[in-house]
Amino acid sequence: MSDYTGLFERASARFRVPDLPIEGMLQRRDRKRRNQRIAAGVVGIAVALAAILAGTSVFRSDSQIPVSVPSIQGAMHNGDITFMVSDGLWGISSEGSPTRPLPTACCDPAGGWIQGADWSPDGTRFAYGVLSRQPKTVATGVYVVDAASGETYRVTEGPVQSVEWSPDGSTIAYSDFSTIRVVAAGGADRTTVWDGSGSALDPSWSPDGTRITFAVPGRTGGGEGPSEGEVHVIDAVGTADRVIAKGTVGPSSAPAWSPDGSTIAYIDGCYLVLISPDRTGPVLRRDINGCLARGMGAGDGVWSDSPQIVWSPDGTQLAFNLPRAGSAFPLFVMNADRTGFTKLPISRHAVPPIAWQPVP
C-alpha cells in the first residue's frame, strides 16, 4: 500500500454501493442474450433473404456447426504433415513419402495469405487464419473447414498470426499479433487470455486444456515488449501468467506443447529447445540450423521469418519449418528424444504454415 492509500479509501467510501442482487444481474444477462439472439435472428433473416435473392447457398448457420466433441487426445495416430501449395492443401508422411494433394478443398486466402493452421483433435476439421495488409478489403480472420465436405465458415474477423484447437475440439486459441484469445469453434463466444505489452504469438494448449503457452518476442527499436524474448505459460482463463524461458526468442519462437503435457518445444536462435512447463526438468537443446557447425554463436540463428513447430499426434516426433524470405521452406522432422533429425523432400512450391493431421 502507498502513502496515499488512506486518502483513496476515504474517497472511494463516498460512493454508496447500489443494490446489486445476483438474481438481477443474471436476469440482466439473460435479457442481453435474448436481445443479442433477436438481433442475430433479424440479421440472419436479412442474410437469408439476401441469399435467396442472390440465388446462392453459401450461407451457413451457426446451429449446424459442431462446437464440442469429446476429448480424444492420445487416441489418435499420425497422419500427414500438411502444408499449403497454391492449389490447396498437400501432405507428406514423416517417413518422407511423395507429397500429395489432400482431398480437402482448402483454403481460400480471400486476397490475403494463410497464416496459422491446425487440425482439430479428431482430424475432421481444419482451422486456418487469414492475414492481409489490407484488412478493410480482405476478409481476415479465423476460418474452419470441414475436411470431408470442404464446407467453410468464418469464426472471427481481424488479422490472425496463429491458430490452435483446444484438446477437446470445442474452442480455438489464436493470436492477432498482440493478443491471445480463445474463441468457440462456432464463433459464439470469445475471451481474451493475454493482452500485455508487446506481441503475443503462437499459442499452444496444454493437453488437459487448462493452460496455454505462447511467445512474447523481445522488442526491437522503439517497440513495446520485454528486452529479451520470452516464452509464457498462462491459465486458459487469463490468470497466472508465468515466464518459463527467456532468450533469443525471435519474431516467432513457436512454442508447442507436447501431447503428453511433459514438454514445451520452442525455437531459440540456433536451437530447438525442449523444457518442462514448470521448469523442473532439464533444458534440452538441439542445434537445428547448423549454427554451431558453421562456427556461429547461439544468438546468430535468428534467421527464419516465421518458424513453426508441431508435435505429431502421438507425441513421438516433432516437425518444424524454417521459412526464409524468397525461398522454399525446408521442413524437418525429429524424434522427441532429439534423434532422427531428417529433412523432408517437400514440393518447392510449398508454403507455411504446417499442421500434423491426426487420424483414428
Partner 1 sequence: MGEPPAFEAFFEHEKGSLFRALCLVTHNRSEAEELTQDAFLRVFERWDQVRAMDDPAGYLYRTAMNAFRTWHRRAILGGKRTIGLTPSDDGFAEIEAEDAVLRAIAPLTPRQRAAVVLIDLLGYSSEEAGHMLGIRAATVRTHVARAHADLKKWVGAER
Residue selected from 62, 151, 228, 241 as contacting partner 1 according to rule CB under 8 A: 241
Residue selected from 44, 238, 251, 330 as contacting partner 1 according to rule CB under 8 A: 238
Beta-bridge partner residues of 272: 267, 286
**According to the binding rule CB under 8 A, does residue 197 interact with partner 1?**
yes
**According to the binding rule CB under 8 A, does residue 43 interact with partner 1?**
no
**According to the binding rule CB under 8 A, does residue 11 interact with partner 1?**
yes
Closest approach, Cβ 187 to partner 1, in A, equals 18
- Do the Cβ atoms of 63 and 47 come closer than 8 Å? no
Stretch that binds partner 1, among 20-28, 144-152, 166-174, 322-330 (CB under 8 A): 20-28
Burial 35-63 (b: 16+ CB within 10 A, else e): eeeeeeeeeeeeeeeeeeeeeeeeeeeee
**Binding string to partner 1 for residues 206 to 235, with x set by CB under 8 A, is what?**
------------------x----------x
Stretch that binds partner 1, among 11-19, 88-96, 296-304, 331-339 (CB under 8 A): 11-19
Beta-bridge partner residues of 89: 84
Nearer to partner 1, 8 or 59 (CB): 8
Residue selected from 39, 49, 51, 237 as contacting partner 1 according to rule CB under 8 A: 237
**Closest Cα partner for 139 from 111, 180, 117, 178?**
111
Nearer to partner 1, 157 or 195 (CB): 195
Distances (CA, A) of 80 to 97, 230, 311, 313: 9, 31, 12, 10
**Closest Cα partner for 195 from 209, 211, 181?**
181
Stretch that binds partner 1, among 35-43, 79-87, 135-143, 192-200 (CB under 8 A): 192-200
The Cα diameter of the chain in Å comes to 74
E strand or H helix that includes residue 271: strand 271-275
C-alpha cell recorded at residue 219: 522488442
**According to the binding rule CB under 8 A, does residue 150 interact with partner 1?**
no
Nearer to partner 1, 9 or 157 (CB): 9
- Relative to beta strand 77-85, strand 88-92 is antiparallel
Residues forming contacts to partner 1 in the complex (CB under 8 A) are 1-2, 4-5, 7-15, 17-18, 20, 22, 25-26, 28-29, 192, 195-197, 224, 235, 237-241
